[in-house]
Amino acid sequence: MKGIMIQGTSSDVGKSLIATALCRAFANEGYRVAPFKSQNMCNYTYQTKSGKDIGRAQGLQAEAAKTTANQWMNPILLKPMAGCQSEVIMLGDHAEVVSGSSYQNDFYQKGLEAIRLSLLKLREEYELLVLEGAGSPVEINLKEKELANMKAAEMADVPVILAADIERGGVFASIIGTLELLSPQERNRVKGIMINKFHGDPELFEEGKRWIEEKTGLPVLAVLPYIGQHGIPVEDSLSDGPEAAHPDIVEDSKYDELSEAMLKHMDWEKLKEIVFSRRKQNEMA
């Protein structure tokens, strides 16, 4: 299946907004596209027309993709609770309340099966997936049984774009460090980099862009501007801007505005080449 996955060097780098913009961009070009986040941790939910609960971001990304949200787009939703516990929503329905350790030990295989089933279901209806990771893909203490980043990319067999937040500072170290901590197989799956939340003239970052490309051998596909008051709710627990508590109703024009604002600063043709050339390589193998 064709697709692309947006992973981040950390939480709150803007993965959800980038994925939302890409959903609308591909939909505007006529592709049957769906969002996908294998495992989400968030208290903000979106109820599908069939009464299933998924992460709010995936529900809104489905709207951006001009399709109807369903439980296959976010098979695992963890809703944090007091006492280091979480409510597990599996395929849109309440499953259990668990602690972090018991979830890793008891739900990993169930999670894998839910992700596999979801990808099969989405493959029946859609031709392209825009996947979103969670947090960082190199949390060493969690990598053995992680379901949200490289495991999902492997199961869907899609290329990965690494997004980094320049607003926080330390963008060069976060990119190089993340790539260094990936296994060789995971590193080979990363095909490009995006810099997000840039303030000012992107031309001022040309030297930094060249340095990243020379150091990593990967193209910097975008230096995306900081976009305030975009009118689309965010989901990350680290986010404290006005969109964090924004109502779930989004004007459709907001998705076009977001997509247009990002595509202006993105090598869109190169991104599509990464998506579709990989498919051709798989077909020839």
pLDDT of residue 58 exceeding 90, the answer is yes
Residue 63's pLDDT is 97
Report residue 120 CA to chain centroid gap.
19
Q: Which of residues 242 and 120 earns the better pLDDT score?
A: 120
Indicate the domain borders of the chain. Answer: 2-284
Distances 285 to 37, 125, 254, 280 between C-alpha atoms, Å: 27, 24, 41, 9
- Alpha-carbon dihedral sign for residues 274, 275, 281, 282: positive
Report the alpha-carbon distance of residue 222 to residue 163 in Å, rounded.
Answer: 9
Report the alpha-carbon distance of residue 156 to residue 78 in Å, rounded.
Answer: 21
Least confident of 168-172, 180-184, 212-216, 277-281: 277-281
**Which band of pLDDT confidence, cut at 50, 70 and 90, is reported for residue 283?**
very low
Closest to 48 (Cα-Cα) out of 70, 78, 20? 70
Angle between helices 252-263 and 56-64 (to 10 degrees): 80
Pairing of strands 45-47, 53-55: antiparallel
Report the alpha-carbon distance of residue 70 to residue 75 in Å, rounded.
Answer: 9
Which residues touch 55 (CB under 8 Å, ≥6 apart)?
Answer: 37, 40, 42, 44, 45, 46, 74, 77, 235
Angle between helices 252-263 and 15-28 (to 10 degrees): 100
| Overall fold of domain 2-284 | Rossmann fold (3.40.50)
Residue 248's pLDDT is 61
**Which band of pLDDT confidence, cut at 50, 70 and 90, is reported for residue 243?**
very low
Residue percentage of the chain with pLDDT more than 90? 73
Residue 284's pLDDT is 40
Report the alpha-carbon distance of residue 151 to residue 137 in Å, rounded.
Answer: 9
Residue 55's pLDDT is 94
Residue 247's pLDDT is 52
Closest to 197 (Cα-Cα) out of 244, 254, 262, 242? 262
Q: Which of residues 97 and 113 earns the better pLDDT score?
A: 113
pLDDT tens for residues 65-81? 999 999 999 999 999 88
Closest to 126 (Cα-Cα) out of 69, 183, 77? 69
**Which band of pLDDT confidence, cut at 50, 70 and 90, is reported for residue 100?**
low
Residue 253's pLDDT is 94
Per DSSP, what are the bridge partners of residue 163? 8, 194
pLDDT tens for residues 102-137? 777 778 899 999 999 999 999 999 999 999 999 999
Report the alpha-carbon distance of residue 231 to residue 63 in Å, rounded.
Answer: 14
Q: Work out the average pLDDT over 19-35.
A: 98
Q: Work out the average pLDDT over 167-189.
A: 96
pTM of the shown model:
0.91
pLDDT of residue 160 exceeding 90, the answer is yes
